[in-house]
Structure 1
Amino acid sequence: MFRRAMTLIVSAVLLVGFTVAALAVPVPYVVASPGLALDTLGELDGEQVIQVEGHPSYEHDGSLSMVTVQYAGGPGSRMNLFTALSAWLSPSQAVLPEEAIFPPDRSAEEVSQTQAVQMDNSQDAAVAAALNEMDVPYETAAVVHTVNEDYPAEGVLRSGDVLVEIDGEPVADKEEAVAAVQDRSPGDPVRILVERDGQKQEVEVGTVESDTGDPIIGITVENDMTFPFDVEISVGGVGGPSAGMMFALGVMDRLDPEGLTGGHHIAGTGTIDVDGNVGGVSGVQQKMVSAKREGAEYFLVAAESCDQTFESAVTGQIEVVRVETLEEAADALEDIREGDTDALPRC
């Protein structure tokens, strides 16, 4: 009997030990949790998040908060199985495969750098979209971003070249530049007037056929926008493009003497492009939790992300408004200001 009892005790201890050891094993998952909620109309570290110089700007009651997701785990800091299981049982957290956030062919540092670039680009696009919505003109130029190796443009064009004319016709932005190059047959040359280091010169570049059959010269082009006044957006170390819509609304509020919120507390998430199109994002459930914690009454979300709101832990406690464009978002805020919320588009 004693030997049998000892065997059972040892077996139980070993089982507990193995279980504890298994729970402590690092696993390739990432936990997404509610993150920062930052009022774009407010301050961060004593300075306004959105600062306008060279144009009248205004401060109003209410808030337009961007919301974020914070991630735990990933390469170099993997969590254990116990932590992952606990997060899986949490109504406000999500457990994702590591490669969903950190692609296997990229380091954590590279992912962080990409997110920083995306944040910068989203801020520029937000300012442009806000000015477009408010009919404030600004200048654009088509600028060479990268020159690809083993393509006709290599050695002829350089990063930073401004594309002034193509085949004698002026180009104002990257869309016009791309259309001008594709208005020919593959193999035909392109005459391009570029501005480089303040000097203009004409170059000729050959074309080759792309995978889609279009003529290309082997460059990527970006729009360089020159605004009539300075708009600076400061959000600390936050990265990614998902705050674009809220940045655009924040800029509009700063420039509007009457403001957009009517004193209401609004949060939201969605990307933005210069034309004011609002794009979908991930982590909407976690962002809604952050918004609710900050006292938001309404949550603006891209139509593409509506399906993420249905299982949110706070659905029903905060009004979810579906938007596809910056104009729709501004219209929704007008309805909220006027108390006419019955017709608000909802997910």
Structure 2
Amino acid sequence: MTLVVALALLVGLGVGSRYLPMPYLVAGPGITLDTVGRTEEGPVIRIDGADSYEHEGSLSMVTVQYAGGPQRRLDFLTVVRAWLSPTEAVLPEELLFPAGRSPEEVSERQTVQMNDSQTSATAAALNQLGLGYDAIPVVGDTVEGMPADGLVEPGDVVLAVDGEKVLTRSEGEPGTVVGTALVVERVGSREPGEPVVLTLDRDGEEIEVEMVSEPGEEGRAAVGVLISDEMDFPIEVDITVGDIGGPSAGMMFALGIMDRLSEEGLTGGASIAGSGTITSAGEIGGVSGIQQKMVSAQRAGAGYFFVAADSCSQVFESAAYGELEVVRVETLTDAVEALETIRTGEGELTRCE
């Protein structure tokens, strides 16, 4: 009787767990999208205002496909199957859906990150090609309770700090600090409590506002102005990726834009995939999900996988490790030099260690 009852309880527990919702996500290999390829809507990267070219080879962004979430919880058996799978990973739900944030807010944030990554990729590509563009420091918002609150408005363009003109990118010498970085540097160079005078362009009118700085991050002087460089590009770059969000395709966007603008292709016909964020200065940052993205790249037929140095530790845990030639990069220059090595067969590729 004891065995019968225990068996009945065990069967009941197994059946019940099948429908028990679990607060986890399952990350699996997602889609790949060739940034220099085409979709039904046309080229993934479309360039207006300059000659563009099409070449053999591919430069693919890769994605992770997530299952689960607050609105579609996974059952116990699905989570266990994913945990045992060599190509999937089980993650806490809050990694993608932080407490206090709705799924709609998460989706909106990922869309903003995708748009920002495309802008940064365009800037980085133009920098790498030596094509000029302007970067103008524009106020996005002010911090409530800080000195600039009520004096500086969103949309104001910062023209000068303490009467010294803020150089935009087109006005500064190569390698000099310009734009937003110059504003931050000049404001932060004083002692907290010292006054700051900002000259602003507000709707075409030049005005001056004076305020007393306060201690900010690391004790440096701050006034509570949130600014960023508004890019004024000489060409129009339109990137179509559908509903994909997040910043991790930045590196591949930049390489795709360069390939489109270059008479000679970057790949030499090779199939390249990769994942990494990018700044306008061409710095490549690490991302998560490399294990699954490498599997996506392998399934799509890529021969090489470009990965940010910060993501190298994930490479060795991928089921596709050993099936792809993994190339470690820290900057867009590194990636371009690696492509030249692949194209010419001369030199050595830098790998994760």
Shorter-chain-normalised TM-score: which range? Answer: over 0.9
Tell me the secondary structure at the aligned position of residue 322 of structure 1. Answer: strand
What is the Cα deviation at residue 198 of structure 1?
A: 2.2
1:115–1:240 Cα contact (<8 Å) kept: yes
Please name the residue that 2:69 is paired with: 74
Map 1:228-247 → 2, pairs under 5 A: 228-247=234-253
The TM-score, its normalising length taken from structure 1, stands at: 0.95
1:44–1:235 Cα contact (<8 Å) kept: no
Please name the residue that 2:171 is paired with: none
What is the Cα deviation at residue 318 of structure 1?
A: 1.0
Please name the residue that 1:185 is paired with: 191
Please name the residue that 2:176 is paired with: none
What is the percentage of aligned positions where both structures have the same residue? 54
What is the Cα deviation at residue 229 of structure 1?
A: 1.0
Map 1:188-207 → 2, pairs under 5 A: 188-207=194-213
2:189–2:220 Cα contact (<8 Å) kept: no
Tell me the secondary structure at the aligned position of residue 21 of structure 2. Answer: coil
Tell me how large the CA RMSD over aligned residues is: 1.3
The TM-score, its normalising length taken from structure 2, stands at: 0.94
Output the CA distance in 1 between the equivalents of 2:257 and 2:320: 28
CA shift digits 1:255-309 (9 cap, x unpaired):
0000101111100000100111110000001001110111101000001111101
The answer on 1:326 being equivalent to 2:332 is: yes
Output the CA distance in 1 between the equivalents of 2:323 and 2:149: 56
CA shift digits 1:80-119 (9 cap, x unpaired):
1111000001111000111111111322211111111111
What is the Cα deviation at residue 211 of structure 1?
A: 4.6
Aligned residues: 341
Tell me the secondary structure at the aligned position of residue 338 of structure 2. Answer: helix
Output the CA distance in 2 between the equivalents of 1:51 and 1:196: 33
Please name the residue that 1:21 is paired with: 16
What is the Cα deviation at residue 23 of structure 1?
A: 3.4
2:259 to 237, 240, 253: 253
What is the Cα deviation at residue 46 of structure 1?
A: 2.4
- The letter of the residue matching 1:239 is G
Output the CA distance in 1 between the equivalents of 2:195 and 2:111: 37
Please name the residue that 2:303 is paired with: 297
Please name the residue that 1:63 is paired with: 58
Q: Which runs of 5+ in 2 are unaligned?
A: 169-178
What is the Cα deviation at residue 60 of structure 1?
A: 0.6
1:25–1:81 Cα contact (<8 Å) kept: yes
What is the Cα deviation at residue 206 of structure 1?
A: 2.3
Map 1:140-219 → 2, pairs under 5 A: 140-171=135-166, 172=168, 173-219=179-225
Map 1:14-53 → 2, pairs under 5 A: 14-53=9-48
Output the CA distance in 1 between the equivalents of 2:263 and 2:42: 21
Tell me the secondary structure at the aligned position of residue 329 of structure 1. Answer: helix
Runs of 4+ in 1 over 3 A off after TM superposition: 7-11
Tell me the secondary structure at the aligned position of residue 212 of structure 1. Answer: helix
Measured at CA, do residues 338 and 211 of structure 1 come closer, stay the same or move farther in structure 2, by a change above 3 Å?
closer
- The letter of the residue matching 1:274 is S
Please name the residue that 2:351 is paired with: 346
What is the Cα deviation at residue 14 of structure 1?
A: 3.4
